[in-house]
Chain A
């Protein structure tokens, strides 16, 4: 999200989901929307029913390709080259939105200069996408009245993830396709409350509402409200805490509702780090790969057992309501209050609504939010006052950067952290399947889902399978420079030649034993979408 924040001002989707069906062109980039966000894909389907054009940018022949006017089948890790190529064509043919560029942006000339080198021929060479398709997609996007970009983790889970997102913003800004209803950039958030968790500032550099901890005035406000002296020093990111733990400097960790022992990349490193801790407390609803390393485990409460709010991928704050009592007696918000009070810093709330009132008092984008306003439909932030109706479309008059202008960031294509070679000739892409969810601790406990989708499958192309003499459903060994797993091969046309795909839902086929240590240096996001692997028949 740092990418969009740099270019536009806010790390969030610019529009509402229900505007997707009103767009007349959708560029779906690095998002297997049909599986990753099935209900968002219904909005796409409605747009298709109304005659919208569809461009899909994805290395895999995902389901949405069926409806695509153009499929940009780029090689993993070549997003920037492709996006620069699209902008090159747009500028060359004079299809850019000069008015918008002049009045609402800065830095276009540098980008214009940079994309000169990204001719369709050169971009075809880098990305593997036929030049004709690049030209066609560029024209379709630029000439659409209302064009919307949906992008997913195929954009951000790269070493260049932040730059990839900025590059998406470059394309939208070039054509002025942002700041209006039905027109903008929808960054699809993977988890139920990933937007809210970002908004609420459990992050080393910001307080709730993206307010920097280094700003003395803001710190003072929080010090006054919380009645405590606060550190001005930016803290450690999660990946850094683990690095420091392994080195021996970081000793005590509380993990609430997360399973880095399965879902982080380069698991051997994570396990070593968790083992090195002097004290690890974990709050979770099930035993996970991470609880194995805990000294104390607190039972968590599922979403059905507590009151609260989630903020979805269109910035909509919605109620979560308690349907049953917490199975263990306490919900996480109560555990945190108890823990804090027992450490000498009392936190006491009778109900989560009181926590929201405190959030609203300290967080300008949530200032108008309270439970009584969330009864039906929720509210989309920014919602700066009790009277404010919330915001469906961002940037209609100004971008949220200082000065109100959006910023073009000229970016060169660079290689992924790890590239294929003779020993590890395949690119492994990892991601999610429709029926399962993350570490699978929830969906693997649904009988029907396990009946239908009991095990991991390595998606393999027919030509590659023939070459390696691998048959459908045959168990194969997949290995990288870091580890190996055994998994059944599924031969299908979804993966292109030289590429394979795995999910990360099954603990008996831990795909993150294979993924690499490379990260986006700005956000720390791991490069889940590219690593080099070998596929072979077992001995």
Chain B
């Protein structure tokens, strides 16, 4: 939305350095734009900030209490400190409190290595035994094929509910129950199904911990074990970017690219979960040549020579206009260019078309 930001530029000081920013931006946004780290759990740049987790607190000169930077707009002349002994103590306390009722089973958790809570505990020296508290022992009951939800790991940041209600506007989940038993859940705690969920997995992409994870990817490798390759989706024409997560020449997970120009980390069911076809057992893996009613396997050389020969032969027999090719919106620009070049230069006519019209 850069085009709307025609607001005035203002100057302020962050950690002793003068910065310039658009009026109306939050302190958090300005800090992140300037490469200054501020921890958050409930903040998601796709959603309206609500200042729930209090980790993003900063000190502003002349203000008695620390302010949550995600909900405080930057004002002209503000003098801001983002790291101090006091802020570290506050943040450490918050994280320790979260750990007090967390399962802390990182060694088994899908999210280990890419878990924000784990990172924050390390960074601020928070320990799980500082405020040893009661644990929730909620059974895991949801049986849907895509979304694994472990309410025991939930830190109640509210991002999953917020994204489902306000961005996707489906409203599959909401915050339910009260007090210690609070948790995001479906109506009447029913399993997610085609009746109440669209399986976009946006809730997973918003979850900072291991409470919501992609079920088909479980056990197939965590963060560091996977190669992440940024690419563009193969389904509709929106052009979403995401990371293909690869292990042993197999795509095992799709994760959000929050810097993507079009989708900003958002994905639909096909983008997030529609990758299983890639390594599917029914993929054609070798050239095939017709043999009676069926096909027989052939080497690349044989199939290519045979095909090149057939096209040359038909051209000679019936004239250069008797051959042609269909290209596809499924293929890359480069391939579409090459097929049109092949038809025009090697077949010698303009009988080439793509499926845009059908």
Interface residues of A (CB under 8 A from B): 1, 17-19, 21-22, 36-40, 42, 45-46, 48-49, 67, 181-182, 188-205, 207-208, 213, 222, 226, 228, 230-231, 233-239, 241, 249-258, 260, 263-265, 278-279, 281, 284-287, 294-300, 302-306, 308-314, 316-325, 327-333, 335-340, 342-345, 347, 352, 355-356, 358-359, 376-378, 392, 434-435, 437, 441-443, 445-449, 451-453, 520, 523-526
Contacts and interface: CB of A to CB of B under 8 A. Distances in A.
A67 B282 CA distance: 42
B138 interface: no
Contact of A452 (B193, B329, B357): B193
Contacts of A451: 145
B88 interface: no
B335 to A, nearest CB: 5
A192 B354 CA distance: 13
Interface string B247-285: 001110000000101110011111101111111101111
B64 interface: no
Residue among A197, A198, A311, A332 with max Cβ neighbours from chain B (10 Å): A197
Given A257-B327, A296-B290, A447 B231 contact: no
B353 A42 contact: no
A445 B249 contact: no
B357 A524 contact: yes
Closest 7 CB pairs of A and B: A312-B239, A308-B332, A235-B350, A189-B237, A448-B145, A257-B328, A38-B268
B168 interface: yes
B342 interface: yes
Interface string B276-298: 11111011111111100001001
Nearest to B214: A448
Contacts of A228: 344-345
Nearest to A310: B232
B346 A345 contact: yes
22 contacts: A39-B271, A45-B167, A191-B237, A192-B330, A197-B356, A201-B336, A202-B336, A222-B344, A231-B349, A251-B323, A285-B284, A312-B237, A333-B334, A336-B335, A339-B342, A340-B342, A347-B338, A376-B259, A437-B235, A445-B276, A452-B194, A524-B358
Given A226-B341, A339-B304, A520-B357, 14 more contacts: A38-B198, A39-B238, A193-B329, A197-B331, A237-B353, A241-B353, A249-B322, A252-B323, A257-B328, A286-B284, A296-B306, A304-B231, A319-B230, A330-B300
A198 B356 contact: yes
B335 A203 contact: no
B48 to A, nearest CB: 8
Contact of B274 (A321, A443, A526): A443
Given A192-B232, A323-B227, A285 B283 contact: yes
Given A249-B322, A304-B231, A347-B338, A236 B328 contact: no
A177 to B, nearest CB: 16
Nearest to B344: A230
Contacts, number: 456
Contact of A299 (B198, B234, B287): B287
B169 interface: yes
Contacts of A347: 338, 341-342
Contact of B331 (A256, A297, A356, A447): A256
Given A45-B169, A333-B335, A343 B346 contact: yes
Contact of A197 (B145, B169, B199, B327): B327
B189 interface: no
Nearest to B340: A202
Contacts of B166: 45, 49
Nearest to A278: B314
Interface of B: 1, 3-4, 144-146, 166-169, 193-194, 198-200, 215-216, 227, 229-241, 244, 246, 249-251, 259, 261-263, 266-271, 273-280, 282-290, 295, 298, 300, 303-308, 310-312, 314-315, 317-318, 320-346, 348-358
Contacts of B312: 343-344
Nearest to A377: B261
Contact of B229 (A46, A296, A322, A352): A322
B261 A236 contact: no
Contacts of A313: 237-239
B333 A198 contact: no
Contacts of B311: 252, 254, 279, 339, 343
A354 to B, nearest CB: 9
A192 B283 contact: no
A448 B303 contact: no
Nearest to A234: B350
B236 A18 contact: no
A525 B358 CA distance: 5
Nearest to A18: B1
B336 A197 contact: yes
Contacts of A447: 145, 216, 276
A16 to B, nearest CB: 8
Contact of B350 (A213, A250, A253, A318): A213
Contacts of A311: 239, 333
A17 B199 contact: no
Contact of A342 (B215, B233, B304, B353): B304
Nearest to A338: B304
A377 B262 CA distance: 9
B269 to A, nearest CB: 5
B249 A325 contact: yes
A200 B340 contact: yes
A448 B307 contact: no
A17 B262 CA distance: 7
Given A230-B344, A324-B249, A202 B352 contact: yes
Nearest to A196: B333
Contact of B307 (A194, A265, A339): A339
Contact of B199 (A332, A359, A435): A435
Contacts of A302: 234, 277-278
B339 A256 contact: yes
Contacts of A297: 284, 287-288, 295
A441 B342 CA distance: 27
Contacts of A319: 230-232
A204 B353 contact: yes
Contacts of B200: 38
